Structure 1
C-alpha cells in the first residue's frame, strides 16, 4: 500500500507502525535488522563519547573509512551481529546478553545502554 509523506495511505487512512520499521517495510528478518540498527546506533554513540573522528574510529575497528561511513549511514545488512558485537568491544564497550521468559504474546529483542 503506497504511503504519502504524512504516513497516510493514498485513500487517506493513517497507517500505524508495528513498532518495527523493518517489519513495516517488509524486510526479511525484521527483528534481526532492528537489533543491528540499535547496535550501529550504540557504535555511533561510543565513537561520539570517545571524541573520535571517523578516520580514527575506522582504524580502531580495522575498517576502510568508506565502509565505516556506510555502516554509520545504515548500510549494515552484510554485517553479522557478531561483527557488530566485536566492534563495540573494540570501542571498549562490554556487552551483556540476558535471556528471560517472554512477558508478552510476542518475544522480542531489546538492547539497553547502561
Structure 2
C-alpha cells in the first residue's frame, strides 16, 4: 500500500521490546551485556570528551589500539565488567556501587546512574 505521495508503507506489526535489547535478542546473561554496553558507552564518551587519540587512550588504559577499537565498536565479549570498571578509574572517574532495599511492591532491580540519569539494567 502507498501513501498519498506514492511511497510504499510498511504495514508489518512490531512487537514492543523490553528494557533490555540483549534479552529481546536472546543473549545469555542479558543484564551483564547491558551493563557492559552502558559502561563501554560511557568510557567512549569520556575518551571523546578528553580529545584523546586512539594511541593516547590505549596507552592510558594499558591496552593495544586494536583492543580499544573493539571497545569503541561494541565488541565487548573480550572485556570483563571488572576490566571496564578499571578503565573508568584510569579515566579519572569514581565507581560507586550502592545497595538499597526495595519496597514491598517492587521486584529487586539494578541500575546504572551517570550524571544523575538512572538507567534500569535488570529486574
Q: Which residues in structure 2 correspond to 1:26-65 (within 5 Å)? A: 26-65=26-65
Point out the structure with the larger strand share.
2
Change over 3 Å in CA distance of 1:21–1:52 after alignment to 2? same
The alignment's TM-score, normalised by the length of structure 2, stands at 0.77
Q: Which residues in structure 2 correspond to 1:1-114 (within 5 Å)? A: 12-103=12-103, 105-114=106-115
Separation in structure 2 between the aligned mates of residue 106 and residue 74 of structure 1, nearest angstrom: 30
In the alignment, structure 1 segments of 5+ residues that lack a partner are 1-7
Q: Between Structure 1 and Structure 2, how many residues are aligned?
A: 105
Separation in structure 2 between the aligned mates of residue 13 and residue 101 of structure 1, nearest angstrom: 39
- Please state how far the C-alpha of 1:33 moved relative to its aligned partner: 0.3
Task: State the secondary structure of the residue aligned to 2:108.
Answer: coil
Point out the structure with the larger helix share.
1
Task: State the secondary structure of the residue aligned to 2:110.
Answer: coil
Runs of 4+ in 1 over 4 A off after TM superposition: none
Q: Which structure has the bigger radius of gyration?
A: 2
**More displaced stretch, 97-106 vs 12-21:** 97-106
Separation in structure 1 between the aligned mates of residue 27 and residue 97 of structure 2, nearest angstrom: 25
- Please state how far the C-alpha of 1:105 moved relative to its aligned partner: 4.3
> Which string of whole-angstrom CA distances, capped at 9 and with x for unpartnered residues, describes residues 12-51 of structure 1?
3211111100000000000000000000011011111211
Q: Are 1:31 and 1:109, in contact at CA under 8 Å, matched by a contact in 2?
A: no
What's the C-alpha RMSD, in Å, of the aligned pairs? 1.9
Q: Are 1:18 and 1:24, in contact at CA under 8 Å, matched by a contact in 2?
A: yes
